[in-house]
């Protein structure tokens, strides 16, 4: 009864943040020996029921403080990074917020596990009560992040979130690699000691949501920027200049063009070099997308999306890009014969196909 009154009194203390934690740690000095003695005597139904009531009171008191504390801190971190969004950019703001959320929750889980063991023996942690308590608290993280993920449409932001979550996921011991992160055996016990099983489990769920969204938006990007690309006036002018320089320099094939573009090649002006280095926009989009999703998804999914992007790129290049070069060469002020137009279109397609796997930093 003394323990129940003590936990009730602790719950009534109007303290926030570290102060409330300090009050519990101080109370554990007196209550801890009593709790451990009760655990040792809890061999009969009556004693076990008393122990269960005491543990329920402990978790109810901690829950009443911890959930509002987590909610307030998650919102405060979000507000801090929203204020920085204009200066740092959306990607940095979202990834920074996620990183700070994860760091805070790791510390919160470790603190709760340490506090629980100040009151109760380690053996009690293995019955699932502490893990269930922390799982309940970690749902607040999932509720905070999931709406951001499902409403995010920027591939770069989703990729950054996935990489950040993977960084924390890879910190989990091997036994926590499953979806629930519960594991068993000696490695699981070691992980229970720092109280991070619940954190790793919720990170796995959030990561799964983020990767699904990233894969979906990558496919949308392929449809919009690669398969759906149509030649506009600025790109048409760039293609016309590319054709003009190739004809003026009498470039006969991809090998000759590559030689001219090699560093240190002589006889090529800076203006001509810039013109010849122009790349068909769907290829830039393809290279950028493949670079963005690299390491962010399961290997099979990543390879499938990369192949889908390359295939869409090749189809657009051959059906729209090369055809445009051929037709515009025939209809230009200095028209080419159909045979010469076919050759320059073939050169354009071959040169650009060879550029697909060269990844730039940005599209």
Higher pLDDT: 152 or 187? It is 152
| Alpha carbons 92 and 97: distance in angstroms, whole number | 8
Q: pLDDT per residue over 300-359, tens digit each?
A: 999 999 999 999 999 999 999 999 999 999 988 888 899 999 999 999 999 999 888 754
User: And the tokens for 255?
Assistant: 């090998």
- Spell out the alpha helix ranges (H) of 222-298: 233-248, 254-261, 270-276, 281-293
Higher pLDDT: 14 or 67? It is 67
User: And the tokens for 45?
Assistant: 């139904």
Q: pLDDT per residue over 72-122, tens digit each?
A: 999 999 998 888 777 778 889 999 999 999 999 999 999 999 888 888 876
Q: For residue 19, what pLDDT band results from cuts at 50, 70 and 90?
A: low
What average pLDDT is seen over the chain? Answer: 84
Q: For residue 182, what pLDDT band results from cuts at 50, 70 and 90?
A: very low
DSSP code per residue over 156-211: HHHHHHHHHHHHHHTTS-GGG-SSS----HHHHHHHHHHT-HHHHHHHHHHHHHHH
Q: For residue 7, what pLDDT band results from cuts at 50, 70 and 90?
A: low
pLDDT above 70: percentage of residues in the chain = 84
Q: Give the pLDDT confidence score for residue 263 in this predicted structure.
A: 58
Q: For residue 28, what pLDDT band results from cuts at 50, 70 and 90?
A: confident
pLDDT of 184 higher than 60:
no
Q: Give the pLDDT confidence score for residue 177 in this predicted structure.
A: 46
User: And the tokens for 272?
Assistant: 């001509």
Coil/strand/helix, residue 14: coil
Per-residue pLDDT, averaged over 35-40, amounts to 76
pLDDT of 53 higher than 70:
yes
pLDDT of 2 higher than 60:
no
pLDDT of 40 higher than 90:
no
Higher pLDDT: 161 or 192? It is 161
Q: Compute the CA torsion angle 93, 98, 103, 105 (nearest 10 deg).
A: 140
Which of 7-11, 67-71, 219-223 is predicted least confidently? 7-11
Q: pLDDT per residue over 146-177, tens digit each?
A: 999 999 999 999 999 999 999 999 988 864 44
pLDDT of 67 higher than 60:
yes
Q: For residue 266, what pLDDT band results from cuts at 50, 70 and 90?
A: low
Q: Which of 1-10, 108-117, 283-292, 352-361 has the highest mean pLDDT?
A: 283-292
Q: Give the pLDDT confidence score for residue 187 in this predicted structure.
A: 42
Q: Give the pLDDT confidence score for residue 181 in this predicted structure.
A: 40
pTM of the model: 0.83
Whether 249 and 257 have beta carbons less than 8 Å apart is answered as no
């Amino acid at each position: 009864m003394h323990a129940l009154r003590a936990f009730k009194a602790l719950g009534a203390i109007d303290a926030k943040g570290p102060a409330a934690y300090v009050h519990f740690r101080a109370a554990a000095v007196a209550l801890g020996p009593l709790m451990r003695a009760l655990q040792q005597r809890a061999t009969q139904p009556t004693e076990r029921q008393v122990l269960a009531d005491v543990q329920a009171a402990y978790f109810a008191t901690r829950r009443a403080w911890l959930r509002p504390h987590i909610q307030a801190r998650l919102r405060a971190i979000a507000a801090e990074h929203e204020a920085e969004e204009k200066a740092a950019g959306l990607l940095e703001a979202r990834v920074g917020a996620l990183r700070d959320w994860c760091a805070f929750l790791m510390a919160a889980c470790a603190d709760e596990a340490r506090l629980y063991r100040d009151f109760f023996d380690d053996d009690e942690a293995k019955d699932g009560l502490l893990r269930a308590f922390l799982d309940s608290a970690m749902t607040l993280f999932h509720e905070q992040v999931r709406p951001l993920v499902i409403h995010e449409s920027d591939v770069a932001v989703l990729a950054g979130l996935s990489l950040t979550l993977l960084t924390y996921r890879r910190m989990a011991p091997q036994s926590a690699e499953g979806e629930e992160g519960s594991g068993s055996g000696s490695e699981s016990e070691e992980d229970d000691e720092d109280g991070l099983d619940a954190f790793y489990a919720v990170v796995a769920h959030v990561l799964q949501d983020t990767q699904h969204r990233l894969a979906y938006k990558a496919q949308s990007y392929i449809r919009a920027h690669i398969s759906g690309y149509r030649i506009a006036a600025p790109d048409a002018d760039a293609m016309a200049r590319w054709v003009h320089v190739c004809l003026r320099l009498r470039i006969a094939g991809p090998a000759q063009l590559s030689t001219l573009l090699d560093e240190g090649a002589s006889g090529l002006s800076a203006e001509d070099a810039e013109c010849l280095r122009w790349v068909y926009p769907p290829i830039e989009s393809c290279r950028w997308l493949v670079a963005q999703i690299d390491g962010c998804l399961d290997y099979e999914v990543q390879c499938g999306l990369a192949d889908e992007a390359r295939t869409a790129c090749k189809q657009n290049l051959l059906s729209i890009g090369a055809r445009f070069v051929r037709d515009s060469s025939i209809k230009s002020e200095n028209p080419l014969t159909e045979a010469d137009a076919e050759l320059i279109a073939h050169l354009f397609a071959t040169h650009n196909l060879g550029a697909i796997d060269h990844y730039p930093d940005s599209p």
